């Protein structure tokens, strides 16, 4: 593989062209697109002191054939596959846990392809190049004396090359909504048990009677003013819940300028036309991802309407396959989202630490499989409960 591919390590997305990068990104991995990742860098949300890009790339005759974007980390915030207990255990043992390397989309708990490969590669070449990229990242991590390499929210099919290259698998879960070729929202509701249908109809009715105007905007319908407005929503809500926001105003303006063809903005305004809340979402082809929510006023059920029901409406109207609404989930589960497995991979350089963590992960996988089955057995979706 090394004879036919030129392998390099880069520390900025500026070393790549948008067109060559995006050729490698599959439709269900929209957050790996160049505009999003370079936008985080261009607006200083990553790259200064944390989330430092470490991009392993492969070229053949000058053509970009594969990339593995990773980040050098000095903490674990913004990752959503939690390893704080591991860090504490290392600290107690007198072993540094940071820096570490993380393969993920910063601040974005969304499944997607992590090892990006050109579609012109045949299956044998894909397998070989994936291993080459992983091996080179592991060599880089060892040289930099990192404690570990973590591949988060990866595809199930990426488990195999990871395991073959000494990564240990981990299982967690999220809640996703799946379109069963529904003609409309009521047809979706008909798949739920009676009490949940009643509750959702009540929640939507209360919003419709609230005097609010709710718009679903896409593409050029989204203006620069909307970017400013939504940043205020995001900043206010994030600071109340988590403290310092990860993203800045420049990022939302950057997304408006270079990524709005992928955006779905659900915007709620009061009777005077003043925007008071909404959700900022991303889509490509058959896949819709709920990302950011914010509100300047508390309106009962507005969060459910903007973050779940309007996205389901949009997905049904556009015949989309799936809606993902991010981390956490009891409120999603109760509104017709299914428990689904999330995959990650972890390589620990320290042998003693590796043995302890791999033993823990083996037990955790068994528990998570049982959890996913148990959650879905209690789902409001009748077929998952074995009804209807």
pLDDT digits (tens, 9 = 90+) for 186-199: 999 999 999 999 99
Contacts of 94 (CB under 8 A, 6+ apart): none
What whole-number distance in Å separates Cα of residue 349 and Cα of residue 97? Answer: 10
Span 275-297, average pLDDT? 95
What whole-number distance in Å separates Cα of residue 150 and Cα of residue 344? Answer: 7
pLDDT at position 235 is 87
Span 16-44, average pLDDT? 98
Task: Say yes or no to pLDDT of 48 above 90.
Answer: no
In the 8-state DSSP scheme, what is residue 273? S
**% the chain with pLDDT above 90:** 91
pLDDT at position 386 is 83
Task: Say yes or no to pLDDT of 2 above 50.
Answer: no
Residue identified by tokens 């050109």 is 118
Task: Say yes or no to pLDDT of 238 above 80.
Answer: no
Q: How confident is the model at residue 237 (pLDDT cuts 50, 70, 90)?
A: confident
Task: Say yes or no to pLDDT of 242 above 70.
Answer: no
Task: Say yes or no to pLDDT of 330 above 90.
Answer: no
- Set out the domains of the chain in order of their start, with CATH numbers: 6-172+341-375 (3.40.630.30), 180-320 (3.40.630.30)
Span 287-294, average pLDDT? 95
Task: Say yes or no to pLDDT of 239 above 90.
Answer: no
What whole-number distance in Å separates Cα of residue 302 and Cα of residue 249? Answer: 24
Structure tokens at 109: 């708990």
CA 57 to chain centroid, in Å, comes to 22
Q: How many Cα neighbours within 13 Å face the side chain of 176?
A: 20
Span 230-251, average pLDDT? 81
Report the mean per-residue pLDDT for the chain. Answer: 95
Task: Say yes or no to pLDDT of 236 above 90.
Answer: no
Using the Cα atoms of residue 188, residue 192, residue 198 and residue 200 in order, give the sign of their dihedral. negative
pLDDT at position 328 is 75
Comparing 84-98, 254-268, 298-312, 317-331, the range with the smallest average pLDDT is 317-331
pLDDT in tens, 85-114: 999 999 999 999 999 999 999 999 999 999
Span 63-68, average pLDDT? 98
Q: How many Cα neighbours within 13 Å face the side chain of 274?
A: 7
Task: Say yes or no to pLDDT of 250 above 70.
Answer: yes
pLDDT at position 251 is 97
Q: Comparing C-alpha atoms, which of 74, 385, 331, 360 is closest to residue 177?
A: 331
pLDDT at position 385 is 87
Contacts of 345 (CB under 8 A, 6+ apart): 150, 151, 154, 158, 159, 162, 163, 167, 168, 169, 170
Task: Say yes or no to pLDDT of 19 above 50.
Answer: yes
């Amino acid at each position: 593989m090394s004879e036919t591919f030129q392998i390099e390590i880069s520390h900025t997305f500026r070393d790549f062209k948008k067109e060559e990068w995006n050729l490698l990104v599959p439709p269900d991995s929209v957050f790996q697109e160049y505009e999003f990742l370079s936008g985080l860098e261009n607006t200083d949300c990553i790259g200064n002191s944390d989330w430092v890009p470490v991009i392993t790339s492969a070229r053949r005759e000058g053509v970009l054939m594969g990339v593995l974007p990773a980040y050098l980390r000095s903490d674990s915030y913004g990752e959503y596959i939690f390893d704080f207990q591991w860090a504490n255990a290392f600290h107690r043992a007198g072993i540094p846990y940071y820096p570490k390397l993380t393969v993920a989309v910063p601040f974005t708990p969304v499944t997607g392809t992590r090892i990006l490969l050109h579609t012109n590669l045949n299956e044998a070449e894909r397998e070989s190049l994936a291993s080459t990229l992983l091996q080179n990242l592991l060599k880089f991590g060892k040289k930099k004396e990192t404690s570990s390499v973590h591949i988060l929210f990866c595809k199930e099919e990426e488990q195999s090359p990871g395991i073959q290259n000494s990564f240990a698998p981990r299982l967690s879960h999220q809640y996703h909504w799946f379109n069963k070729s529904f003609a409309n929202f009521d047809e979706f509701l008909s798949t739920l048990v009676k009490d949940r249908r009643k509750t959702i109809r009540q929640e939507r009715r209360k919003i419709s009677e609230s005097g609010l105007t709710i718009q679903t905007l896409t593409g050029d319908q989204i203006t620069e003013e909307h970017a400013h407005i939504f940043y205020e929503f995001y900043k206010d809500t994030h600071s109340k819940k988590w403290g310092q926001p990860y993203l800045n105003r420049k990022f939302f303006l950057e997304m408006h300028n270079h990524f709005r063809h992928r955006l779905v903005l659900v915007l709620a305004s009061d009777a005077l036309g003043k925007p008071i809340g909404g959700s900022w979402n991303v889509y490509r082809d058959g896949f819709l991802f709920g990302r950011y929510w914010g509100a300047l006023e508390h309106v009962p059920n507005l969060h459910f309407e903007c973050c779940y029901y309007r996205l389901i409406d949009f997905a049904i109207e556009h015949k989309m396959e799936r809606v993902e609404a991010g981390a956490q989930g009891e409120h999603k589960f109760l509104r017709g989202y299914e428990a689904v497995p999330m995959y990650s991979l972890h390589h620990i350089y320290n042998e003693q630490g590796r043995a302890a963590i791999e033993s823990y992960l083996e037990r955790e996988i068994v528990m998570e499989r049982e959890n996913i089955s148990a959650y879905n057995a209690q789902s409001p979706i009748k077929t998952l409960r074995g009804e209807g």
